[in-house]
Structure 1
Amino acid sequence: MKKKEIIIISIFVIIMIAFLGAYKLYTDSLNKIIVQVVHNNEVIIEFDPDKDAVYKFTGSYGHMEVEVKDGMWRVTNEECPNHICSGVGWVSKDSYIPIICIPNEVYVAVKPE
């Protein structure tokens, strides 16, 4: 091969690697989701489900906690009469059902796009 051909092939390979990197960054940003905790139609917490944490807040009836672990979330502790929202268990981005606590007027759901 001539030197000119090697340079052209090298430039082509570098451009292809750059396009693949840009495509990967673009698709990763599309798959990113945000989860919201909403109280009285006001977003009080937004979190990334890929970062493990425990969020504490107060609803209309009392205190609540949302645990986030391994891309999933759940209500762990809440002050309300029936504790139905903690009975829902773990929810992930693939679940279309939000966690709702009617006495606290709170729901936890994936942020609408």
Structure 2
Amino acid sequence: MKKRELIIVLCLLVIGAGFYFYQKSTKREELVVYHHKKVIAHIDLSKNARYAYQGDVGTFHLEVKDGRARAYDVDCPNQICVHTGWIKRDDGKSIVCAPNGISVSFETV
């Protein structure tokens, strides 16, 4: 490999690495709330807060704290969403309240 070709390859590697780290730094995690597959909210994980959403059979309450989320005090018959407990961005879980048609999941944007 000639010196000129080596310089070109190294420049391409540096440009590629810069692009990779730029993309990685601009992406962020957020919590997305859906009602029947339609996005109804994007939630910033850096803020601790409580939210209420109207579902098909009642109110769905969501708490965000320390980058985690949980359903609480939900109007639905079986309470499976409440028993899911806290979910974190790296555990691959989501919250689903089928009677209300609401789901909550972590997404990279």
Quick one: distance in 1 between partners of 2:64 and 2:25?
A: 20
C-alpha distance after superposition, 1:38-95 (max 9, x if no partner): 0011111110112101111111111011000001000011100011101111101102
Paired residue total? 89
Which amino acid is the alignment partner of residue 99 of structure 1? I
- Which of 3, 26, 30 is equivalent to 1:29? 26
- Greater relative contact order (Cα < 8 A, sep 6+): 2
TM-score by length of 1: 0.71
> In structure 2, what is the equivalent of residue 66 of structure 1?
62
> In structure 2, what is the equivalent of residue 14 of structure 1?
none
> In structure 2, what is the equivalent of residue 91 of structure 1?
87
TM-score by length of 2: 0.73
The runs of 5 or more residues in structure 2 that have no matched partner are 1-20
- Which of 37, 43, 56 is equivalent to 2:39? 43
Normalized per residue, the structure richer in strand is 2
SS of 2:90 mapped into structure 1: coil
Deviation at 1:27, TM superposition (A): 4.9
> In structure 2, what is the equivalent of residue 20 of structure 1?
none
Which amino acid is the alignment partner of residue 61 of structure 2? E
Percent identity of the aligned residues? 33
Deviation at 1:29, TM superposition (A): 3.1
Quick one: distance in 2 between partners of 1:46 and 1:66?
A: 12
> In structure 1, what is the equivalent of residue 77 of structure 2?
81
Quick one: distance in 2 between partners of 1:112 and 1:29?
A: 10
Determine which structure has more spread, i.e. the larger CA radius of gyration: 1
Task: State the Cα RMSD in Å.
Answer: 1.8
Which amino acid is the alignment partner of residue 97 of structure 1? K
